[in-house]
């Protein structure tokens, strides 16, 4: 019923920047929270950043000061601006959304992921 599609990943040199986008589509009442997770090979999936409807944000300690999450409510889109990228940022980045469907049912939606590789 709900689909999240990420874009913007790719290969970048250390110190470079990327902007990830995630667009939610389908039939739903509202999106309560949107965020980004990442998972490197052999590692657990970890929260990178999230944003609520009132604009409150949370960031992983490892990305504070370098990454910025934002949301365009009109377009059901969340962004992750990643600056001063480091090799340890290399991972598959997943978009996540907590969604309320029509009828008040809740749904936790995940995108397929986009690869970010930081390397010389």
Q: If the chain, 120 residues long, is cut into consecutive pieces of 10 residues, what is the mean pLDDT of each piece?
A: 93 98 92 95 96 94 98 91 98 95 90 97
Kindly list the distances between the CA atom of residue 104 and the CA atoms of 25, 33, 46, 68, in Å, as whole numbers in the listed order.
Answer: 17, 15, 28, 30
| Beta bridge partners of residue 115, listed in sequence order | 92
pLDDT score recorded for residue 104:
87
**pLDDT score for 53:** 87
CA 31 to chain centre: 14
86-119 tens-digit pLDDT:
999 999 999 999 999 888 889 899 999 999 999 9
Scored b (16 or more CB within 10 A) or e, 40-53 reads: eeeeeeeebbbbee
CA pair distance 55, 4, nearest whole angstrom: 20
């Amino acid at each position: 019923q709900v689909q999240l599609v990420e874009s913007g990943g790719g290969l970048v040199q250390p110190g470079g920047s990327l902007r990830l986008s995630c667009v939610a589509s389908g039939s739903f009442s509202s999106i309560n929270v949107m965020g980004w997770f990442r998972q490197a090979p052999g590692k657990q999936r970890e929260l990178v950043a999230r944003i609520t409807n009132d604009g409150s944000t949370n960031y992983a300690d490892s990305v504070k000061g370098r990454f910025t999450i934002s949301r365009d409510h009109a377009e059901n889109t969340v962004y992750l601006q990643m600056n001063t990228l480091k090799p340890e940022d290399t991972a598959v980045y997943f978009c996540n959304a907590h969604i309320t469907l029509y009828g008040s049912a809740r749904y936790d939606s995940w995108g397929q992921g986009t690869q970010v590789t930081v390397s010389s």
